[in-house]
Every structure is written in C-alpha cells, then in structure tokens.
C-alpha cells in the first residue's frame, strides 16, 4: 500500500474544546503533526497580543490548525464523499493544506510582519518546499505533492472546490477561528451553528454552494464574524500592546545598527535586523524566544528599549484616543513637535494605527482583491448570491469598518506638571 493510503492501526484522537475530538486516521497527517515545524506552532499564539485583554486567549496556532483540519476531514469524509462533482482523490491534499495553512506564521504575527516586512504566506511556501521535516513527509506522498499543497494554500490550485474549502468567505479556516477565538476569549458572540452549515454545503462544478435552507445559519456566521472583528480582533487595548511590541522591535533593530552592545547577544534576531532572514532563523524564532528577550531587554541600558519592553512584559500599555492624521495633519504634526519638546520621543511614543475590515462582500469586477461570494442554491436549482436573498447580510455587505487611533503614554504626559508642551498636548488630545 502506498504511503498516501496508509492508515494508522488505530485512530488517534485529540481532545478539543471546540470540536470535542479531532480524529486522525491517515499516517501522513500523523507524521506531519509530529514534525518540528508543525510542533513549533504550539509556541505561537493564535491571537497575538489579545491575551493581554482577554486573558483566556492563550490558544495557539497548533490548536487552530488541528481544528481546521478536523472541519475539512468532516466535510470530505462525511458530507462530500461519493457526491457528484467531488473528486475523492483530492482528499489527502485538502487535508494536508488545511493542517498546514498557517505553517509560516511567525511570533506575534502582525507586529512581526509589519516591522520586518515579512509575509507569512511566503514563509509557508518556504517551509513546505525547503529543507524541512514537513517537506520530507510531503515528498514521500509524491515528488510534486509539496508544490500542490502550496498551490492550494495560495489559492492557485486548479480545482476551485479544494481552494474554496480552505479559503473563501465561508471556509474551514474562518469557521474554526471564529468559534475557537470566541471560546478562549470567553465572549458570547462568535458562536454559530457550524453543524448546520456543514450539512447544507454541496460541491458543484466550480464552487461550493449552500442549500437555501441553511441561509439563517450562514447569516449567523457572517454576523458573528462582524461582531468578533469589532469586539475582539480590533480591540484597542490589544492593538496598544501590539504598538508597543512593534516599537520595541524597531528600537532593538535601530540599536543593533548603531553598534549598541546588548547585555545579551540578540543572535536569534540578527538575521531579522539585517534583513537577510534564513529559513532556519525563521523557524527557530517563536514567542518563547521573543518574550525571553523582552525580559532581558527590560534590564538594558538604553532607556527606550528598557521602558518599552518593560511595558510589554508588565502590561503597562499606551492610552489611546480616536484621531485620524489624514483629516487633521497639521494637528498631528504639531503634536509630534510637542512630544519632542516635552522630551518624549514621538517615534516610539506617539503612534498612529488604523484597522479596516470588510465583514462580507460580493465580487466586484476590477477590484484588486477578488472575493469569492457565498452562493445559495435555491429549491429550483438556481444559484443566488447571498446578499441578494438575505436582508441582514445585504445591510453590511461591502461596508468597510475603519478606525484610526493614536497611542501614547498618558501617565508620562500627566506627570509633566510644569511643562507648557505637555499642557498643550493635554488640550489637543483632550486628556485629563
């Protein structure tokens, strides 16, 4: 029997709080889970700095990746198997892509990608195709199998059904993270009836459709995503922590380039600081390393590095106010001057941040980012784009949620009692 078809003698199960159990029968899947690159995901939190706001949110990308795998396993084994339009020979590929879709995420993903101009998708590809344990497992299936897995994750694979299961507006990735993040943060939004959605998903020639009877479950899913973005993912306090993390790394990089002598050699970061990142350095860097260095940096001579890393470790975060520099550029520039006058470096201590999300959208020709809409299959067999049938979804379709904030250390400004610049800052930012 070929490696691809080999089953474990006994099924392995992982206890999971979201899906109850995660079932593994395929030897390939078991071998992938055991690789060092996949195990590394245990040391990367799914929600980055969110645990500083919702203290339960310590779950890892390992948990989430297993969850996405389990949803796909149920779709391909219980719902699609034997149905017209579904090619069962794509089963293992779909399962592998589900399990490995987040493989390239680095520590505190967004902050890291931002500071070092990285793209986790590029690193997913590098880990799949490079000299790694994951690559060795995938290559045993077939020489071109690692490339196929990469193509599915990059949405370039020829079979759109496989791609849509892993990434579309209603995919296994989103279905897992919404429920998982709701569970671990403890919030009441984010829940929806996934069982119902899975049962009404159908493979069609070039896409996946939802039977009309499942529309309300899908509405619930879209609304839960909408709520989670506003209440959890864009939470201003976790963004504050992200800003501090961001600027700590920027400060460390600047000091490194200036020849500053660190008390602890920052060797795990060196290739990131120089921009010549090796795959090995990338795989070795996880959140345990970052947090260890932040603790060391909180003992450093450099005042800014010491202050920022201490703030992150001890959760002494920046305060924020709503402010859009695009609309009030002069005021923004004036504030930067005032921060400098008050002796607070605005590069690190007066930070603008913006977020934006689109809860749901249908395809608009000519748009850069093509969004695969959700299609309902009506009783008469016709397909209808979701927002044309659902009033609730129509109300939020295409509406970008955008918000701008500036972050700064309020307590330092309040402490400057005899300072004219600080007085003006307080007035301009309405802080008391």
Site string for Ni ion, 93-112 (x = CB under 5 A): ---------x----------
Is the CB of 127 or the CB of 335 nearer to Ni ion? 127
Distances (CA, A) of 355 to 63, 74, 189, 322, 405: 26, 34, 20, 12, 9
Smallest gap, in angstroms, from Cβ of residue 64 to Ni ion?
6
Of 37, 171, 173, 300, the one binding Ni ion by CB under 5 A:
173
Region near Ni ion per CB under 5 A, out of 3-11, 134-142, 165-173, 266-274:
165-173
Q: Rounded distance, CA 26 to CA 7, Å? A: 5
Region near Ni ion per CB under 5 A, out of 124-132, 173-181, 197-205, 360-368:
173-181
Question: Do 431 and 322 touch, CB atoms closer than 8 A?
Answer: no
Is the CB of 65 or the CB of 298 nearer to Ni ion? 65
Supply angle C-alpha 317, 320, 324, rounded to 5.
140
Q: How many CB atoms lie within 10 A of CB 380?
A: 6
Is the CB of 180 or the CB of 202 nearer to Ni ion? 180
Is the CB of 181 or the CB of 307 nearer to Ni ion? 181
Report if residue 353 touches Ni ion, rule: CB under 5 A: no
Smallest gap, in angstroms, from Cβ of residue 232 to Ni ion?
15
Smallest gap, in angstroms, from Cβ of residue 228 to Ni ion?
14
Question: Do 268 and 285 touch, CB atoms closer than 8 A?
Answer: yes
Q: Rounded distance, CA 10 to CA 103, Å? A: 27
Terminal-to-terminal C-alpha distance of the chain: 73
Is the CB of 185 or the CB of 390 nearer to Ni ion? 185
Q: Name every residue whose Cβ is closer than 8 Å to that of residue 99 and which is 6 or more positions away in sequence.
A: 29, 32, 33, 38, 65, 66, 68, 69
Smallest gap, in angstroms, from Cβ of residue 49 to Ni ion?
17
Q: Rounded distance, CA 27 to CA 31, Å? A: 6
Is the CB of 110 or the CB of 306 nearer to Ni ion? 110
Is the CB of 37 or the CB of 173 nearer to Ni ion? 173
Smallest gap, in angstroms, from Cβ of residue 346 to Ni ion?
35
Q: Which of 336, 347, 337, 287 is nearest to 313 (CA)?
A: 287
Region near Ni ion per CB under 5 A, out of 25-33, 172-180, 309-317, 364-372:
172-180
Distances (CA, A) of 123 to 83, 120, 163, 287: 35, 5, 19, 17
Is the CB of 47 or the CB of 344 nearer to Ni ion? 47
Smallest gap, in angstroms, from Cβ of residue 39 to Ni ion?
17
Smallest gap, in angstroms, from Cβ of residue 306 to Ni ion?
35
Region near Ni ion per CB under 5 A, out of 86-94, 170-178, 308-316, 393-401:
170-178
Q: Rounded distance, CA 272 to CA 51, Å? A: 25
Sign, CA dihedral 324-326-331-333, equals positive
Is the CB of 172 or the CB of 305 nearer to Ni ion? 172
Smallest gap, in angstroms, from Cβ of residue 59 to Ni ion?
12
Site size toward Ni ion, by CB under 5 A: 2
Smallest gap, in angstroms, from Cβ of residue 83 to Ni ion?
26
Beta bridge partners of 160: none
Is the CB of 46 or the CB of 240 nearer to Ni ion? 46
Region near Ni ion per CB under 5 A, out of 127-135, 144-152, 171-179, 273-281:
171-179
Sign, CA dihedral 321-326-330-334, equals positive
Is the CB of 37 or the CB of 102 nearer to Ni ion? 102
Q: Rounded distance, CA 67 to CA 181, Å? A: 12
Q: Rounded distance, CA 262 to CA 363, Å? A: 51
| Helix, strand, coil in percent for the chain, rounding step 5 | 55, 10, 30
87-125 b/e (C-beta count within 10 Å ≥ 16 → b): eeebbbbbbbbbbbbbbbbbbbbbbbbebbebebbebbb
Smallest gap, in angstroms, from Cβ of residue 369 to Ni ion?
17
Q: Name every residue whose Cβ is closer than 8 Å to that of residue 55 and which is 6 or more positions away in sequence.
A: none
Smallest gap, in angstroms, from Cβ of residue 102 to Ni ion?
4
Using CB under 5 A as the criterion, which residues of the chain lie in contact with Ni ion when the complex forms? 102, 173
């Amino acid at each position: 029997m070929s490696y691809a078809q080999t089953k474990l003698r006994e099924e392995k199960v992982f206890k999971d709080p979201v899906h109850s159990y995660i079932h593994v029968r395929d030897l390939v899947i078991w071998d992938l889970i055991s690789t060092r690159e996949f195990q590394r995901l245990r040391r990367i939190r799914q929600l980055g700095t969110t645990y500083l706001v919702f203290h339960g949110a310590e779950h890892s990308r390992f948990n989430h990746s297993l969850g996405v795998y389990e949803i796909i396993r149920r779709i391909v084994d219980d719902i699609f198997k034997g149905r017209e339009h579904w090619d069962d020979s794509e089963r293992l590929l779909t399962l592998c892509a589900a399990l490995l879709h987040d493989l390239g995420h680095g520590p505190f993903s967004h902050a890291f990608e931002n500071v070092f101009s990285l793209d986790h998708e590029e690193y997913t590809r590098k880990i799949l195709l490079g000299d790694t344990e994951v690559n060795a497992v995938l290559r045993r299936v077939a020489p071109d199998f690692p490339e196929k897995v990469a193509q599915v994750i990059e949405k370039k694979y020829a079979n759109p059904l496989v791609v849509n299961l892993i990434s579309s507006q209603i995919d296994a990735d989103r279905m897992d993270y919404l429920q998982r993040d709701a569970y671990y943060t403890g919030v009441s939004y984010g829940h929806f009836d996934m069982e119902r959605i899975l049962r009404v998903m159908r493979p069609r020639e070039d896409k996946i459709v939802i039977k009309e009877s499942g529309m309300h479950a899908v509405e619930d899913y879209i609304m839960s995503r909408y709520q989670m973005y506003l209440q959890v993912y864009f939470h201003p306090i976790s963004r504050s922590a992200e800003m501090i993390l961001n600027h700590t790394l920027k400060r460390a990089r600047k000091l490194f380039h200036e020849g500053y002598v660190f008390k602890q050699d920052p060797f795990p970061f060196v290739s990131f600081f120089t921009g010549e990142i090796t795959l090995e350095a990338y795989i070795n860097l996880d959140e345990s390393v970052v947090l260890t260095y932040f603790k060391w940096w909180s003992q450093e001579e450099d005042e800014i590095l010491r202050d920022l890393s201490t703030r992150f470790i001890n959760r002494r975060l920046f305060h924020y106010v709503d402010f859009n520099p695009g609309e009030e550029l002069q005021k923004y520039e004036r504030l930067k001057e005032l921060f400098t006058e008050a002796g607070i470096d605005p590069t690190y201590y007066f930070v603008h941040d913006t977020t934006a999300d689109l809860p749901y959208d249908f395809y608009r020709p000519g748009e850069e980012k093509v969004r695969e809409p959700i299609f309902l299959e009506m009783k008469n067999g016709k397909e209808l784009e979701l927002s044309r049938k659902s009033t609730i979804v129509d109300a939020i379709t295409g509406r970008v949620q955008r918000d701008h904030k500036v972050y700064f250390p309020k307590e330092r400004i309040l402490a400057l009692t005899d300072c004219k610049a600080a007085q003006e800052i307080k007035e301009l930012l309405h802080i008391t």
